[in-house]
Structure 1
Amino acid sequence: MADRINTFADLQARAGVILARLDAAPAVALAAASNPLLAVEHLGYEFDPQARTGIGDRIRLGPTAAKKLAGLRATIARLVDRSVDPDDGLQVRRLLTDLGVLPQCPDGDDPDTDPPRWRPGGAGPDPLEPFRDRHPVMPPLLEYRQISARRPRFAPPQAFAAILDGVVATPLTAVRGRLQAPPPEPEPADPR
């Protein structure tokens, strides 16, 4: 049975063991650079499905952005009365077509609904920006996509497997992890 990770704190508690196992497996460590969640799963751990997205957001974007994305996902779900993955262009296209935000395009000439991709220097314009005023879900959806595009997304499972198997070369030749103590908490201000 796999060791289950239910929260980011669970992952932090296991970080020393995970890093030691990655350091002992260079191919897995290289693949971990492309998708640390898949690397942890490859090592035999299992993420709680409800927590996996938030843990990934926290690793990729930090705690503040991860919390903001979680709130925006909840707002989007509440506004459309269903769960939607804002990073999935096909789900977003279906949702926005159902809501009448985007036209139904039978000839396959659908508007681009893929999220903006991270690029050095910025993400670029969101293809859904022209539709901002067509439904109340659009402002939180656009904000979510803007925040998510701040850092590169993790590699999909196929790319992770190709790196792990050595089918795809990376510019990296080795990756080693180490733990670093968190910065100390600031001293409270002297009330005098």
Structure 2
Amino acid sequence: MKTNAINSLRELQLQMPAIFEKYGNDNNFTQIALANPIAALEKIGMEFTDRAKDEIETYARFGKEGAKQISELRANINDTAGSFVDLNAPYQIAEIIISTGDFNVSKSSEQAKKGAGAGSSSVDKAALIKALESSPKKENNLWQDDLAQFSSMHPVLPLILQYRKLDAESPRFADKKNISAIQEKLNKGPLKNVVFTLTCDPVKLKK
């Protein structure tokens, strides 16, 4: 663990007034913070544990009540799966589903159909992983998820589907490698009414 690293959202919130006072009107800091608040804070020398990064991003994306819902849903997923589930690891999730279910594992959709026709449950592992790797999409104002076709295969899948929908509804922090491109776009127009949500009470900065 990093010696002076921020270990929780609360630790960061206690420091935010001083950070806001010093950097709140720094255009470069504000631009990076709009894309990825953690990256902006790291840019000024702050360090974070992985636990803190996850807690901070969850709070920033979903708000206080939403973060609580996400936390409870993650815990429910782990309990139902019987072990920790990395929701960004399709192969691990597929292994959990297949190893704890009564399935014949097939390599293609055609084989899966043959297995089903023979009276036994069959799962196309490659198709399952592909569905797990995909992201839910909104079509005609309705969320569509390729993973839904597998929802009856394991009790954890409906919970994962719920999590994936919530996750898709709120954009993640930008990847650090894309921040420069985002800054270029932001430079084309003035920043107005920027809101810092990581303070204990959201602070609005008018540019």
Answer whether TM exceeds 0.5 for this pair: yes
Q: Which of 93, 102, 107 matches 1:95?
A: 93
In structure 2, distance between residues paired with 1:31 and 1:4: 20
Q: CA RMSD in A?
A: 3.4
* Higher strand proportion (structure 1 or 2): 2
Q: How does 1:12-23 map to 2 (within 5 A)?
A: 12-23=13-24
What's the counterpart of residue 189 of structure 1?
none
Q: Which has the higher contact order (CA 8 A, sep 6+)?
A: 1
Quote how far apart the aligned CAs of 1:177 are: 5.6
Quote how far apart the aligned CAs of 1:141 are: 0.8
Verify the 8 A CA contact 1:31 1:163 in the aligned structure 2: no
Secondary structure, aligned partner of 1:54: helix
Q: Any stretches of 5+ residues in structure 1 without a counterpart?
A: 184-192
**In the superposition, relative to structure 1, how do residues 159 and 141 fare at CA in structure 2: closer, same or farther (>3 Å)?**
same
Runs of 4 or more consecutive aligned structure 1 residues displaced over 6 Å after TM superposition: 178-181
Quote how far apart the aligned CAs of 1:80 are: 2.8
2:49 maps to 1:32 = no
Q: Any stretches of 5+ residues in structure 2 without a counterpart?
A: 102-122, 203-207
Deviations 1:44-82 (A, max 9, x none): 222232232122111111111111111222222233344
Verify the 8 A CA contact 1:30 1:173 in the aligned structure 2: no
Name the % identity: 24
Quote how far apart the aligned CAs of 1:129 are: 1.4
Moved more, 149-158 or 42-51: 42-51
* Higher helix proportion (structure 1 or 2): 2
Number of aligned residue pairs: give it.
174
Q: Which has the larger radius of gyration?
A: 2
Deviations 1:123-147 (A, max 9, x none): 7212211211110111211111122
What's the counterpart of residue 60 of structure 2?
59
Deviations 1:13-60 (A, max 9, x none): 111222234335322211110111221122222223223212211111
**In the superposition, relative to structure 1, how do residues 5 and 181 fare at CA in structure 2: closer, same or farther (>3 Å)?**
closer
Q: Which of 170, 180, 191 matches 1:174?
A: 191
Q: Which amino acid aligns with 1:115?
A: S
Verify the 8 A CA contact 2:94 2:125 in the aligned structure 1: no
Give the TM-score normalised by the residue count of structure 1. 0.72
Q: Which of 131, 143, 160 matches 1:124?
A: 143
**In the superposition, relative to structure 1, how do residues 140 and 98 fare at CA in structure 2: closer, same or farther (>3 Å)?**
closer
Verify the 8 A CA contact 2:81 2:96 in the aligned structure 1: no
In structure 2, distance between residues paired with 1:133 and 1:23: 49
Q: Which amino acid aligns with 1:18?
A: I
What's the counterpart of residue 147 of structure 1?
166
What's the counterpart of residue 187 of structure 1?
none
**In the superposition, relative to structure 1, how do residues 104 and 67 fare at CA in structure 2: closer, same or farther (>3 Å)?**
same
Verify the 8 A CA contact 2:8 2:51 in the aligned structure 1: no
Q: How does 1:132-143 map to 2 (within 5 A)?
A: 132-143=151-162
**In the superposition, relative to structure 1, how do residues 177 and 136 fare at CA in structure 2: closer, same or farther (>3 Å)?**
closer
Q: Which of 101, 104, 110 matches 2:125?
A: 104
